[in-house]
Amino acid sequence: MAGIIAVPPAQAFNLTAPAVAQRSDVVEIAVQNKQVSAAYRRKKVRLVTDEKAGTIIIDTNNKYLYYVEGNNRATRYGVGVGRDGFGWSGIVKIGRKAEWPDWVPPKEMIAREARKGRKIPAFQEGGVDNPLGARAMYLYQGGRDTIFRIHGTNQPWTIGQNMSSGCIRMMNKDVEHLYDRAGVGTKVIVVGPGNRQGKVAFEDRGIDVLRTMFGG
């Protein structure tokens, strides 16, 4: 099985919330800026791939996750991906799953945020305010936790952005939909900048076509 490959950072997008005053027009603008683009709504698309039905393919460049349905079809979801310096690619599997998961940030994250003057909890119970959202699928390789997850979010407006520490974020309604379909052991292919797992070619003829040629 191919290893996880560190890749050059993709361009990051800074999400800045406008100052919200008491005027209703300013509030309306702030709300509009937090809406998810229609391009990232869940959709059935055409997908040409050699991968079996039930495989997950994540295109971090374009912020899409594909669940292969077979017969050249897939369900496409919009996702948020790793920010500057946190991109990766590789072939992994879902090692375990959790509903309304607790959040235990890695020590490295706690230390990194502390250097920025931010204090994050060592543990946060699952719930609507938890950054992992409604569901989490934990990605493993060789029987070991990679510390990367496919999970929901309490910040849905970050979908379509480079905002995470390497995890794949989904809207809660989408991660619940995927969670019910993707079981433990599901193969997950992450395609990112500098990917060396295989060749990827995109076509645009009015439909989504993602051709993958991966081994393993």
Superfamily of domain 5-11+36-214: L,D-transpeptidase catalytic domain-like (2.40.440.10)
List all residues 6 or more positions away from 46 whose beta carbon is below 8 Å from its beta carbon. Answer: 72, 73, 74, 207, 208, 209
Choose between 195 and 98: higher pLDDT.
98
Residues 145 and 128: their CA atoms lie apart, in Å, by 25
- Please report the pLDDT score of residue 86 as a whole number: 64
- Please report the pLDDT score of residue 162 as a whole number: 86
Q: Is 177 one of the catalytic residues?
A: no
Residues 117 and 6: their CA atoms lie apart, in Å, by 27
Choose between 5 and 122: higher pLDDT.
122
Instruction: Name the pTM for this structure.
Output: 0.74
**Active-site annotation holder among 7, 56, 139, 167:** 167
Q: Is 9 one of the catalytic residues?
A: no
Report the share of the chain in percent with pLDDT over 70: 72
Per-domain boundaries in the chain: 5-11+36-214
Do residues 49 and 75 lie in contact, with contact meaning Cβ atoms separated by under 8 Å? Answer: no
140-161 pLDDT, tens digit each? 999 999 889 999 999 999 999 9
- Please report the pLDDT score of residue 85 as a whole number: 53
Do residues 195 and 7 lie in contact, with contact meaning Cβ atoms separated by under 8 Å? Answer: yes
**Active-site annotation holder among 151, 162, 168, 192:** 151
